[in-house]
A and B are shown apart, each in its own frame.
Chain A
């Protein structure tokens, strides 16, 4: 650090658990000592929060194994952090158990377990994961300080693997000397710094460039009351459809319509985690009172648009009141009900399935159930851009002009 001519307050050492975790206590710099294998995660937060800081991470072969996902992510990201991996081939503190870098033929504290696995070459992994600087040498190599200086100066993610001797554990049962470390280094692919094929912009700089262009703060959707309705009754609208039928969008439109009339609204949706498959049910409340429970207990309007959606709420049909208005697409069967059912053949009207929910809103507006034509028109105007608005009004007008309903 003296060679690098860096001020102590411009350096943060980030370490994790294990012998390598003592590293930060040897230096008079900022220090963050955290959980086993997670040092790179703290380092990432620090570096992005304070780009001026030189962040140096140490971890052992233990941290490398347990925090492998973070090593890969750091290589891919190329944030300007220096990672020094102090590889001494075993877990020293806990009794010399095998790690991700223990040779298969080593004698370790894990009995025979290491003999059934192969060690990783972290430098090769780092290269394929996109690290822009990779170096490897013996921990006793006289060039190590210079390598560290190069790594810290490098603008991007740099990895140095040092091969070292765990004198407390590993070397007691395995032959290892400074000379053997040099031989071992020589037997592995040479890693001496810049990885030309991976060179690309440093992540922090790139992030700031990309984020810097996004300067428009999204304001919340705000809908002013535009329609005065006298005697508006509270509404509970259930839209029963399938994923891909724009059920949630239709629910949004009903909410907007309610808001335009100065009402409180809520909408909860019920769908499975699968994308574009399964039921999609939207339940909307429109009320002049503050809304508490957001489920539907007694629907005033039900749109039955797919078998899956109806199936999901099959139980409600038996309890619908005679005043409940049900729009049922011709192809969709519904359980027996006392409700006021209007059947409509959207297929015959050449309306695409993804527009059935929208078209059903047209039926509601035409019959003045929960919403009227003005509410729907203003709602579509607020919810959509001009092109979509005009397209949707085309469908709505077709429905409104039908003489059969």
Chain B
């Protein structure tokens, strides 16, 4: 199956019961898949009049207690932006699949690139940490969709899956029966006496009650206190802002997902993510066969930046090389975290995959 279908199937496995989206290449087949699957599961699947509406439908459904998914590409993320900010600031769980294509703007609908890696983190107002997962193949799309829903439910925030045309629309075989999915995490429901919709521990998301239940619920996109009413009290505002950060950043190590292939006698670590990591691994295999072993680190969660992991993994290597299917977005985070160390970079943004041969060449260009 193609990565997009795998992502949709992962969402279903995670208990997703609501989808709204607007057609856009290369993400449309997620919508197509959900439209085939959700009705049979008693779920709801809608085509919005535009991307803004699609996100609004998901926000409304999520506030009624549904597990909502939407899917788009860069131009759609641009339109989602105001609603993403709402979901971030007002702690509305949902999963957003961004099947990236070559930007800027309309760019190339059928050409891949990891265009949106910084945009996904910073494409909302307020500067609140986001959670962004990065699949490398169809199997990852399936598994990470479940992680994405789990994180969305636990942290009550939008979670992004940064896919790519080269994963979403590439078909590949995998053994579905041998896949072990993470246990499903459900939204923590409120069970006390007096419900304050945004009352929470300082580093946690608030317990949830749905709009439409017996207890009245207030939701608002405006700056609010624990009771869900607009506030201008600086202390209340500060506490809430700090909590929005802390609930994600305090859990960074738990959110972090990665794969590594550390070779004992190598002094180079190549760091990559997404579809590019496949060429990196193939390139590393070629280099090893030539007697030049290199180690690889594949990040499957990009935001929040796994700072401790990067420092720890980079420590024993003399040479750090970062490869991206853009002209340098995430390398800036790695350079920041490994401050003072030389971090080499190769990036390519021409609508075609970086090849294993290019990895070998870049390795040789020390």
Chain A interface residues (CB < 8 Å from chain B): 8-10, 12, 14, 17, 24-25, 28-35, 38, 40-50, 52-53, 69-70, 72-73, 207, 211-212, 214-218, 220-223, 252, 255, 258-259, 264-273, 291-295, 297
Q: A33-B220, A264-B173, A273-B109 are in contact. Are A41 and B53 (CB under 8 A)?
A: yes
> Is B202 interfacial (CB 8 A cutoff)?
no
A-facing mask of B37-70, CB < 8 A → 1, else 0? 1111100111011101101111111111110100
Across-interface contacts of B353 in A (CB, < 8 A): 293-295
A12 — which chain B residues lie within 8 A by C-beta? 211-212
Q: Are B166 and A70 in contact (CB under 8 A)?
A: no
Q: How far is the CB of B180 from chain A (nearest CB, A)?
A: 17
- Taking a contact as CB atoms under 8 Å apart, the answer to whether A49 and B60 are in contact is yes
Q: Tell me the bound Cα distance from A17 to B222 in angstroms.
A: 9
Task: Identify the closest chain A residue to B353 (Cβ).
Answer: A295
Distance in Å: Cβ of A14 to nearest Cβ of chain B: 8
Question: Are B62 and A45 in touch, CB under 8 angstroms?
Answer: yes
Is A32 a contact partner of B109 (Cβ separation < 8 A)? no
The answer on a CB contact under 8 Å between A293 and B282 is yes
Look across to chain B and name the residue whose beta carbon is closest to the beta carbon of A7: B214
Q: Which of A17, A73, A267 contacts B172 (CB 8 A)?
A: A267
- Distance (whole angstroms) from the CB of A12 to the closest CB of chain B: 5
Bound complex: CA A292 to CA B259 (Å): 14
B172's closest neighbor in chain A, by CB? Answer: A266
Across the A-B interface, the 4 shortest Cβ-Cβ residue pairs: A41-B56, A45-B60, A49-B64, A73-B49
Q: Chain B residue with minimal CB distance to A268?
A: B170
Q: Does B91 contact A (CB under 8 A)?
A: no
| Closest Cβ neighbor of A29 among chain B residues | B216
Does residue B364 face the partner (Cβ distance < 8 Å to A)? Answer: no
Please report whether the interface of chain A is mostly helix, strand, loop or mixed according to DSSP. mixed
Tell me whether B352 and A295 are in contact (CB under 8 A): yes
B5, B18, B230: the one contacting A45 at CB < 8 Å is B18
What is the 8 Å Cβ interface bit string for chain B, positions 174-212, against chain A (1 contact, 0 not)? 001000000000000000000000000000000000111
Supposing A8-B216, A293-B353 touch, asked if A45 and B57 sit within 8 A by C-beta, the answer is yes
C-alpha gap A272/B48 in the complex (Å)? 25
**B54 to A, closest residue via Cβ:** A41
Contact A31 B220 (CB under 8 A): yes
Rounded to whole Å, the gap between the CB of B323 and the closest CB of chain A is 12
A31 touches B219 (CB 8 A): yes
Task: Known contacts A48-B61, A215-B39, A273-B110; decide if A220 and B211 are in contact (CB<8 Å).
Answer: no
The residue among A31, A42, A70, A207 with the most chain B CB atoms within 10 A of its own CB is A42
List of B residues within 8 angstroms of A33 by Cβ: 218-222
**B229 cross-chain contacts in A, Cβ below 8 A:** 25
Query: A266 to chain B: which residues have CB within 8 Å?
Result: 170-173
Note all chain A residues with C-beta closer than 8 A to B355: 293, 295, 297
Q: Can you list 8 A-B contacts with CB-CB less than 8 angstroms, sorted by A residue number?
A: A10-B212, A33-B218, A45-B66, A49-B61, A70-B49, A218-B37, A266-B171, A292-B356
Confirm or deny: B36 has a beta carbon within 8 angstroms of a beta carbon on chain A.
yes
CB contacts (< 8 Å) of A215 on chain B: these are: 39-40
- Pairwise interchain contact B166-A268, C-beta atoms closer than 8 A: yes
A270 and B111 alpha carbons, distance in the complex (Å):
8
Inter-chain contacts of B279 with A (CB < 8 A): 292-293
A218 vs B8: C-alpha distance when bound (angstroms): 12
A46-B212, A207-B44, A292-B278 given; name 12 further pairs at CB < 8 Å: A30-B217, A34-B59, A41-B53, A45-B66, A47-B60, A70-B53, A212-B39, A220-B176, A259-B173, A272-B110, A291-B278, A293-B278
B215 at the interface (CB under 8 A from A): yes
The CA-CA distance from A238 to B261 in the complex, in Å, is: 31
- Assess the B211–A41 pair: CB atoms within 8 A: no
Q: Which of A46, A292, A297 contacts B60 (CB 8 A)?
A: A46
A216 to B56, CA, bound (A): 28
Min Cβ gap A56→B in Å is: 13
Main secondary structure of the interface of B (DSSP, over half): mixed
Indicate if the CB atoms of B56 and A9 lie closer than 8 Å.
Answer: no
What residues of A have a CB within 8 angstroms of the CB of B82 in the complex?
35, 38
Rounded to whole Å, the gap between the CB of B184 and the closest CB of chain A is 18
Which residue in chain A gives the minimum CB-CB distance to B85?
Answer: A35
On chain A, the residues within 8 Å of B216 by CB distance are 8-9, 28-31
B14 CB-CB contact with A under 8 Å: no
Contact B52 A38 (CB under 8 A): yes
B163 within 8 A of A: no
Q: Are B282 and A294 in contact (CB under 8 A)?
A: no
Give Cα A34–Cα B49 distance, bound, in whole angstroms: 18
Decide yes or no whether B86 CB sits under 8 A from chain A.
yes
- The answer to whether A44 touches B220, judged by C-beta atoms less than 8 angstroms apart, is no
Given A9-B214, A221-B1: A41 in contact with B278 (beta carbons within 8 A): no
Contact status A273-B25, CB under 8 Å? yes
Find chain B residues with CB under 8 A from A269 CB.
Answer: 169-170
Nearest CB of chain A from residue B82's CB, rounded to whole Å: 5
Residue from A30, A40, A72, A270 within 8 A of B211 (CB atoms): A30
Contact A42 B65 (CB under 8 A): no
- B130 CB, min distance to chain A CBs, angstroms: 18
Q: A49 to chain B: which residues have CB within 8 Å?
A: 18, 44, 60-61, 64-66, 212
Which residues of the partner chain B approach A217 to less than 8 Å between Cβ atoms?
A: 37, 40-41
Q: Name the residue of chain A whose CB is nearest to the CB of B170.
A: A268
Q: Is the Cβ of A292 less than 8 Å from the Cβ of B282?
A: yes
A314 to chain B, nearest CB (A): 14
Alpha-carbon gap, A266 to B278, bound state (A) = 13
Kindly state the separation between the CA atoms of A258 and B68 in the bound complex, as whole angstroms: 36
Contact between chains at B40 and A38 (CB < 8 Å): no
Cβ of A268 to closest chain B Cβ, rounded Å: 4
